[in-house]
Amino acid sequence: MDIRNFKTNSFMPIHFTKMHGAGNDFIVIDNRIYQLNDAAAAQFAKQVCHRRFGIGADGILLLDSGRHADFQMRYYNADGSRSFCANGARCLARFAYHRGMVGKAMIFEADDGRHEAVIVGRAVRLHMTDPAMVELNRTITAYPRAETVHSINTGTQHAVLHSDDVMQEDVVHHGRVLRQHSLFQPLGTNVNFVQTMDTSRIAVRTYEKGVEAETLSCGTGAVAAVAVMTLLDEIEPPVMVHTLSGETFCVNFTRNGSVIRGVTLEGSAHIVYDGEFLEENVD
């Protein structure tokens, strides 16, 4: 169903579930019902994620029928761009379990590959794809201060910077500058500021591209931060990751030299409410 057909003479509310994973919030839709294509979903995300004129969220999650898995996940940022989102994946796993579509263990397809997820009480443990495109210790230029930046892909692209006091960072301003930096073009990057607390705990704040703001937490960012700091020999997994929301993730994996395998991200996934988005709100 193309979103343009929502404005018809027939009443067609869109049922959704509002969820958040450690404060990273989403609008979840069972797309087996609505069958939004890519263009329609991108347009819909821009409409409903607006925090004044829509429902308000960092992005939307669509659950589609899986070809060779329990289901397929599509994620769209608030600006309509498509990417992988680990917090979103954990929320969609909990949504599928809550609706009785799957058992506590499931396999689903996403833009970055196949994932396994397991319901663990009120938390969800997500098996991530292996990190790739790791580049450490690059010097940033054309930036307000001299910085060493590390980059890694954990399902989507991330930059990681060390911080002596993460709560004092101007994440929005500096994150926006780095997100557009020439080092990360043409696609841009998410930007993570990381403070090492001890060998098993870090604090992370993240500027997310597509949302174009700081989010209360970022799952792929947490994994990126832990992976980079491990490769720099500052920490060892498993690592507890403290987020701006006040909630924590547990990130675990095995390391063999510079190779990281078997990454898991575990944290909360909350169902907030169910609702209907009315067709009169669609442009």
Q: In the 3-class helix/strand/coil scheme, how is the chain assigned residue by residue?
A: CCHHHHCCCCCCCEEEEEEEECCEEEEEEEHHHHCCCHHHHHHHHHHHCCCCCCCCCCEEEEEEECCCCCEEEEEEECCCCEECCHHHHHHHHHHHHHCCCCCCEEEEEECCEEEEEEEECCEEEEECCCCEEEEEEEEECCCCCCEEEEEEECCCEEEEEECCCHHHCCHHHHHHHHHCCHHHCCCCCEEEEEEEEECCEEEEEEEECCCCEEECCCHHHHHHHHHHHHHCCCCCCCEEEECCCCCEEEEEEEEECCEEEEEEEEEECEEEEEEEECHHHCC
- Nearest-CA neighbor of 26 among 70, 61, 63? 61
The residue annotated as part of the active site, out of 49, 91, 218, 250, is 218
- Residues 132-176 pLDDT 10s: 999 999 988 766 666 899 999 999 999 999 999 999 999 999 999
- Residues 83-139 pLDDT 10s: 999 999 999 999 999 999 999 999 999 999 999 999 999 999 999 999 999 999 998
> Are 79 and 177 part of one and the same domain?
no
> Are 139 and 249 part of one and the same domain?
yes
> Are 137 and 256 part of one and the same domain?
yes
| Phi and psi, residue 129, nearest 5° | -75, 155
> Are 238 and 275 part of one and the same domain?
no
Report the number of distinct structural domains present in the chain: 2
> Are 253 and 146 part of one and the same domain?
yes
> Are 155 and 257 part of one and the same domain?
yes
Please say if 85 is a catalytic residue: yes
The residue annotated as part of the active site, out of 49, 85, 91, 250, is 85
The C-alpha atoms of residue 56 and residue 52 are separated, in whole angstroms, by 7
Please state, rounded to an integer, the average pLDDT across all residues of the chain. 92
The CATH number given to whatever domain includes residue 148 is: 3.10.310.10
Crossing angle of the two packed helices 86-98 and 219-231, in degrees rounded to 10:
130
Give me the pLDDT at residue 283, please: 53
pTM: 0.93
Beta strands 157-162; 190-198: pairing state: parallel
> Are 110 and 204 part of one and the same domain?
no
> Are 39 and 112 part of one and the same domain?
yes
- Residues 23-57 pLDDT 10s: 999 999 999 999 999 999 999 999 999 999 999 99
Domain extent for 235: 132-267
Give me the pLDDT at residue 83, please: 96
> Are 262 and 274 part of one and the same domain?
no
Query: In the structure encoding, which two tokens stand for residue 39, read together?
Result: 């263009």
